[in-house]
Amino acid sequence: MKIGIIGAGRIGATLARHFARIGHDVALSNSRGPETLTDLVQELGSSVRATTAAEAADHGQVVVVTIPYGRFRELPAEQLHGKVVVDTCNYYPERDGHDPELDADITTSSEKIRAFTGANLVKAFNAIYWENLRDRGLPKGDPGRLAIPVSGTDWEAKAVVSGLIRDIGFDPVDAGDLGLGGRKHQPGSRVYGAELSADELSGAVGAGASAARA
């Protein structure tokens, strides 16, 4: 599969490494330009190339957006429109500046990114510490395998993202849609940063929790 990644920080670089390891064709970008990623892509191997954000969005059948939420309006919306996009972003007012709609809990950060890009958005990888994402992937059935919550509206898009989660050593658990479901694993929720099995996470997020695990 062709995967684009917009954002080459800890989560973005870790996912690039995982996806390349299992055979995907990865285009990795950041806000500073492809030339600043030379050392990283050499470390990650020949399945990863450095590109601009727009090129990563064009490249990917699935595109991971892993940037500070406050910069989401810099995303290449035209290239992301209609694509399966994995949103790892979290809203931190002290970093991103205050968003009155999010402060009032009128909507979620993922719903705002979806509205801006027109993408088929799935929220995932936002609630796991990056070190656990890097180090804790385990084979299916291992009792120590961690679960990752997933939320979104489109079942097919969630199935694609859930498959990627399984392939890199974690269990996806469907938390629901981007609104109610996304709130269940945003910062401040009971599962944010928690190290839970699939059964434990399913119990914590409640309704809608089993579909992504099928």
**How confident is the model over 174-200, as pLDDT tens digits?**
999 999 999 999 999 999 999 999 999
Residue 212 scores a pLDDT above 50 = no
Q: What is the pTM of this model?
A: 0.94
- Give the type of residue at 136: R
Full DSSP string of 23-47: T-EEEEE-SS-GGGGHHHHHHH-TT
Is residue 95 within 8 A of residue 117, CB to CB? The reply is no
From CA 73, how far away is CA 112, in angstroms rounded? 10
With cut-offs at 50, 70 and 90, classify the pLDDT of residue 214. very low
Residue pointed to by tokens 């119990």: 203
From CA 153, how far away is CA 78, in angstroms rounded? 20
User: Phi and psi (nearest 5°) for 18?
Assistant: -60, -50
Residue 213 scores a pLDDT above 50 = no
Number of helices and strands in the chain (H, E): 11, 8
Q: How confident is the model at residue 208, as a pLDDT?
A: 44
Start-to-end CA span in the chain (Å):
21
Q: How confident is the model at residue 96, as a pLDDT?
A: 97
Residue-wise pLDDT for 41-92, tens only, equals 999 989 999 999 999 999 999 999 999 999 999 999 999 999 999 999 999 9
From CA 161, how far away is CA 86, in angstroms rounded? 7
User: Phi and psi (nearest 5°) for 179?
Assistant: -80, -80
